[in-house]
A and B are shown apart, each in its own frame.
Chain A
Amino acid sequence: MAIDWQAFWLTLQLATAVSVILLMLGLPIAWWIAFSGWRWKFLVEAVVALPIVLPPTVLGFYVLVALGPRSPLGRWWIALTGHTLAFTFAGLVIGSILYSLPFAVQPFAASFASVDRKLIAASATLGASPLRTFFRVVAPLSVPGLITGTALSFAHTMGEFGVVLMVGGNIPGVTRTVSIDIFDRVQSSDYAAANQTALLLLAFCFVVLAVVYSVNRKAWLLGPIK
Chain B
Amino acid sequence: MPIALWWVGTGSVDEQMLEEVRRQVEREFAQPVDLCRSDQRPTGTLDAGRGQHSSRELLRWLVTARPSQYDRILGVTDVDLFIPVLTFVFGEAQLDGPAAVVSTMRLSQDVSRATAMSRLVKECVHEVGHTFGLVHCGLVACVMTRSASVRAVDAKRARLCPECRARYRMVQDGLHVYREHENPHRR
Q: Do A and B bind each other?
A: no
Residues of chain B touching chain A, judged by Cβ–Cβ distance below 8 Å, are none
Residues of chain A touching chain B, judged by Cβ–Cβ distance below 8 Å, are none
